[in-house]
Structure 1
Amino acid sequence: MGLFVLAPLIGEYLHGNMSVTALPWLVLTAPLYGGGALLIREVARRAQRGWSTIFLLALAYGVIEEGLVTHTLFNPSYFGYPLLSWAPVPTLGMGAWWTIFVLTLHAVWSISASIALAEALVPRRAAQPWLSNRGLALAGAVFVLGAVTNWLATYEIERFVAAPGQLAGTTAAAGILVAAAFLVTGRRAEPVGSPAPSPWQVAAIAFAVTSAFIVLGWFPGWPTVVVYLALYAVSARLLARWSKRPGWNERHVLALTGGALVTYAWYAFPSQPLVGAGGLVDVVGNVLFALGLAGLLWRAARATRSRPSARSGAGRPTHIEQTDA
């Protein structure tokens, strides 16, 4: 239930897309975000897969939400914003900048960071399934319900439906990402090289990279697309190297998560909500969400510090430490 609520709170409220006055909209957003996050986590953990699988499934989730549910990948005027005019790809009827930007928001923050934070709060159960078969089926039904209701709500506002070819291409892209998620290596090799960097260093770099990503979003266009691709390449390289080093464990995963989530927290203040009241009440809400995040990160840090593997780094690595970053 914590993950079910965390996913929409992080995905829509922490970064300021929805104001605190729009909290009743959780009825609409939680089934989609929370149901999706639960499904992805359960499927990955039941298959004993790592973060590469979760990230690719989260990317597939973003493709489904933005391409099949809300259609923002193809809508030329979503909420009045000309999303497709920035780095346009006319043959596909899409915008390269918006596609990379919004899919990253879902893959990194809405799903992956939500799962990582929820697992860090209960580190002893982080690698275990949390749902029974019946619970998994229920989560799937809730997700489908959330997708349908969000589609209806978006259509009521936008009156836009993507072309059949765009919908077919989106479905194919999501399927390819799901397949790729289970073709990637499930476990990393034995640790090699110098010790992993400190969690604080990892958190600082994660904050810097994600903040750069967000700030660049204020300058949409082809130059930003190029920089985004470079950030992806550098980040993937760093994570691949760090996760192979001795001592890499759940504290480092939490550090990555914390750095990214703090970026979302500061981003809310210069942003204007798309849904809900702005002004002072929005600022107060942003403060409350940021304080809530700080409390959860503090609690998660205490929980992971209590793990013997996190304190000493000795002995056989746990499943969390073995799974790829």
Structure 2
Amino acid sequence: MPTPPRLAPVFALFLLSPFVGEFLLGNLTLAELPLGLVLAPMYGCGALLVREVGRRSGGGWPAMVLLAAAYALIEEGPIDQLLWSDSYAGADLLHGPSYLPALGMSVELTQTVLALHTVWSVCVPIALVETLTRSRRSEPWLGRVGLAVVAVVFVAGGVLVFLGNYADEHFVASPGQLAGICLVIALLIAAAFAVRALRLPPLPGRAPAPWRVGLAALVLTSAYWGPANLLTDNWYEWVGVGVWCAGTVLGVWWVSRWSRQEGWGVRHRFALAAGALLTYVWVSFPVRPESGGSVRADLVGNAVFGALACLLLVWCARRTRVRPAEGNVISRTSAEA
């Protein structure tokens, strides 16, 4: 049975995932903090499952990214039905210019869901908590019993969210839509396990300085989220679809190259997460919470959450400093992509 200190990263990720995914983005306010405890079983346990399965399988970050994408579709598909509902939280997010009647889905909305949860709800929290966990960054944090408990809590949290949404919306997607999204989810999970066998060769040259990697992440993610939140006219929707595709290809290409160059390590992975997190800090201010309410209260909440996020980044940055006694331990894992 793990001792309490060994469970610290588990509890940290359990709480950080809903904080980044909902509160830091600006979807939920300070007054709605208790709702975070309702969302944590789904968000936090989902992130834990992604992290533990990715680490146990040996697929590392490529596997975790694919599993995080599967999580994104599970949450916004079968659980809360956002991908097909035209009245989610009282708003029609579905029927824009990129709506595809044959699928009953919006290209832009689906991309937004994948970006929201793959990167910010799952991968960024995992990267930050692993940064804080010096000697166990690439090791599993849970045994089989713990993993089973997390899976059960995740399912229970998902059922709770589904029932809450159904009570409000009285909407369920068609069997064909549910079957289609489940097929895509299954393919993503299969790809996460298959990627273990893919080992790309090292590349010549040295990885960029961590601050350059973080700046690139900030600029790239801001280039997507900024216009997506500030330009709400219909003409931009298909442009935004193109920006998402270009940003995804460019980001994957950059990270794939940099992570195979000499010197890539934990400080670079932290920098990627930090750049993405800072995008949420500034994007939260133009985002209005789903519940509406006072603009002043919303801005105060955004400032508080943003300050907490910056303090977390400072703490993580300090943890990336290698102490002499820890050098040998960290060197064994610093080359991992």
Q: Normalized against structure 1, the TM-score is what?
A: 0.93
The question of 1:115 aligning with 2:129 is answered no
C-alpha separation in 1, matches of 2:56 and 2:196: 15
Match of 2:49 in 1: 39
Equivalent residue in structure 2 for 1:98, among 109, 129, 133:
109
Where does 1:154-165 land on structure 2 (aligned, <5 Å)? 154-165=165-176
- When structure 1 is superposed on structure 2, of 127-136 and 140-149 the one drifting more is 127-136
C-alpha separation in 2, matches of 1:210 and 1:237: 15
Deviation at 1:12, TM superposition (A): 0.3
C-alpha separation in 1, matches of 2:319 and 2:330: 20
Q: How many residues align?
A: 321
Unaligned runs of 5+ in 1: none
Where does 1:4-15 land on structure 2 (aligned, <5 Å)? 4-15=14-25
Match of 2:63 in 1: 53
Letter in 1 for 2:185: A
C-alpha separation in 2, matches of 1:216 and 1:192: 34
- Asked which structure has the greater RCO (Cα within 8 Å, sep 6+), the reply is 1
Match of 1:226 in 2: 242
Equivalent residue in structure 2 for 1:150, among 153, 156, 161:
161
The question of 1:79 aligning with 2:89 is answered yes
Q: Which runs of 4+ in 1 moved over 4 A?
A: 185-190, 307-311, 314-317
C-alpha separation in 1, matches of 2:290 and 2:326: 41
Letter in 2 for 1:123: R
Match of 1:21 in 2: 31
* C-alpha spacing 1:320/1:278, structure 2 compared with 1 (3 Å): farther
Match of 1:267 in 2: 283
C-alpha separation in 2, matches of 1:298 and 1:178: 34
- CA displacement 1:36-81 (0-9 Å, x = unmatched): 0111111111122211111100000000011101111111222233
Deviation at 1:128, TM superposition (A): 1.0
Q: Percent identical across equivalent pairs?
A: 42
Letter in 2 for 1:158: E
Tell me how large the CA RMSD over aligned residues is.
2.1
Letter in 2 for 1:77: S
Equivalent residue in structure 2 for 1:140, among 134, 151, 172:
151
Letter in 2 for 1:290: G
Per the alignment, in what secondary structure is the counterpart of residue 274 of structure 1? coil
Match of 1:30 in 2: 40
Match of 1:318 in 2: 332
Match of 1:212 in 2: 223
Per the alignment, in what secondary structure is the counterpart of residue 264 of structure 1? helix
Contact in 1 for aligned 2:264/2:334 (Cα 8 Å): no
Match of 2:271 in 1: 255
* C-alpha spacing 1:18/1:205, structure 2 compared with 1 (3 Å): same
- When structure 1 is superposed on structure 2, of 87-96 and 216-225 the one drifting more is 216-225
Contact in 2 for aligned 1:8/1:34 (Cα 8 Å): yes
C-alpha separation in 1, matches of 2:332 and 2:69: 26
Contact in 2 for aligned 1:41/1:54 (Cα 8 Å): yes
- CA displacement 1:204-259 (0-9 Å, x = unmatched): 11000101110232345222212211111111111111111100001000000000
Deviation at 1:268, TM superposition (A): 1.1
C-alpha separation in 2, matches of 1:46 and 1:307: 27
The question of 1:175 aligning with 2:186 is answered yes
Equivalent residue in structure 1 for 2:210, among 193, 199, 211:
199
C-alpha separation in 2, matches of 1:310 and 1:183: 33
Deviation at 1:199, TM superposition (A): 0.7
Deviation at 1:320, TM superposition (A): 4.6
C-alpha separation in 1, matches of 2:165 and 2:329: 52
Contact in 2 for aligned 1:269/1:283 (Cα 8 Å): yes
Unaligned runs of 5+ in 2: 1-10
Contact in 1 for aligned 2:224/2:240 (Cα 8 Å): no
C-alpha separation in 2, matches of 1:251 and 1:214: 24
Deviation at 1:121, TM superposition (A): 0.7
* C-alpha spacing 1:275/1:131, structure 2 compared with 1 (3 Å): farther
Deviation at 1:296, TM superposition (A): 1.3
C-alpha separation in 2, matches of 1:310 and 1:159: 55
* C-alpha spacing 1:9/1:305, structure 2 compared with 1 (3 Å): same
